Amino acid sequence: MNKEEQYKELLPQLEAIVADEGDEIANMANVAAMLHTTFGFWWTGFYRVVNCQPSASSNQKTNAELVLGPFQGPVACTRIPYSKGVCGTAWERGETVIVPDVHKFKGHIACSSASNSEIVVPVFKGGEVTAVLDIDSKDFGTFDEEDKYWLEKIVKQCFAQ
């Protein structure tokens, strides 16, 4: 099966799994597990945007950070500031970031030295980024526009409201 066929088969399975469950963290756990086991990625998981210093007058984005959520793979860093690393960059830009060689990405946060390429897909709710899906591969250049297309579709179908 090629990548497109795998994603096509996976999408309805993911939709079915999240359909009957209202808890987002439980759903993130299963989406991460299914993506990870289907494709054999090195690390697959979510970081959630969490307010760390709530203040009525402050800009929400500068007072929030990405906090590790459900994932599959080796131990990872727990907190990533806005605009930092690939994850914080995808959050800041509000768009998917594909990194064919993480060693060439300025500011890349290396949770594992075995990771060589990465894709980070923002999860939107009401126009705001509320989480990111982060996937790491041990191979270079694993992710392309096809992954972007399908992973964006998956997070939209599973998590957007």
Residues that bind ligand SME (CB under 6 A): 43, 76-77, 80, 85-87, 108-109, 111, 115, 118, 134, 136
**Nearer CB in complex with ligand SME: 87/158:** 87
Chain residue at closest Cβ approach to ligand SME: 85
DSSP 116-161: -EEEEEEEEETTEEEEEEEEEESSTT---HHHHHHHHHHHHHHH--
Q: Which is nearer to ligand SME, 11 or 109 (CB)?
A: 109
Cα 24 from Cα 29, distance rounded (Å): 9
Question: What are the structure tokens assigned to 11, written together?
Answer: 């999408």
Q: How far is the CB of 109 from ligand SME (least distance, A)?
A: 4
The least CB distance from residue 71 to ligand SME, in Å, is 7
Nearest distance in Å: CB 56, ligand SME? 29
User: Taking the complex as a whole, how short is the minimal distance between the CB of residue 43 and ligand SME, in angstroms?
Assistant: 5
CB 121 within 8 A of CB 55: no
Q: Which is nearer to ligand SME, 11 or 81 (CB)?
A: 81
Residue 80 DSSP code: E
Q: What are the beta bridge partners of residue 121?
A: 133
Our CB check for ligand SME shows the closer of 92 and 152 to be 92
The strand pair at 79-81 and 117-125 is best described as unpaired
